[in-house]
Amino acid sequence: MSAAPPPAATIGEHHADVAGGWLRPAVFGTMDGLVTNIALIAGVGGGGAAAGSIVLAGTAGLVAGAISMAIGEYTSVRAQNEQIAAEIAKERYELDRHPEAEARELAGLLVGRGIPADLAEQVATALRDRPEAALRMHVQEELGVDPDDRPSPWVAAGSSFSCFSVGALVPLLPFLLGFGQLWLALAVGGAGLFVAGVLVARFTGRRWWRGGLRLLSLGALATAATYLVGRLVGAGVGLS
């Protein structure tokens, strides 16, 4: 005897929220905050700056980066939503003016997805008399988006701002706690990178240790590059 299907109320509950507009800016914000401030601290410290100067530079980098990330996310998500709204308005206009042609177009799209031609024509014909349902179907098929489920630019901005701030704060913690060793700040930042990589891997279903090592390796490359630049510039201006 085959197993009974799961109750309808439980279907889909295991899926993550991928359309809310917060996950991508949260991930990028945390990563950018960590990498940016670790590299900034490495460059300034490598140039021979004192602990107070490193804290000043790191704090400025945290504030400037968080604001920049928030503005960028807000602008990009709002521009995307406005573009989608314009395309939806265009599709609505075509449905109002040319319903027969749009029905044939939708039937062709459904056939292209493997639906039998007669069934695709029946669906398109039925939707022709239901303008809102037809609009939703056209938008989903032609644009690949749900017109009723678009990300919020404010959520994206807030998520990016807060997560960048948290990430950028991690390598500053040793200095703020009274430790003046550059290597300790870089080690704490490296641990933060590894943890961030593990968390991303948990969201995406990848192996946790690969995610951690990948982000740690990329951060190490950025840190090494800025440290070397800091050493060279510091020597050129007489700081190191």
Summarize pLDDT for 154-193 with one digit per residue, the tens.
Answer: 999 999 999 999 999 999 999 999 998 999 999 999 999 9
- Chain centroid, CA 169 distance in Å: 20
Average pLDDT over residues 26-50: 92
CB neighbourhood size of 68 (10 A): 15
Do the beta carbons of residue 25 and residue 209 sit within 8 Å?
Answer: no
Do the beta carbons of residue 35 and residue 222 sit within 8 Å?
Answer: yes
Q: Could you tell me which residue, 54 or 120, shows the higher pLDDT? A: 54
Checking if the pLDDT of 111 tops 60, the result is yes
> Which residues fall within 8 angstroms of residue 155, CB to CB, at 6 or more apart?
20, 21, 22
Model confidence, pTM:
0.79
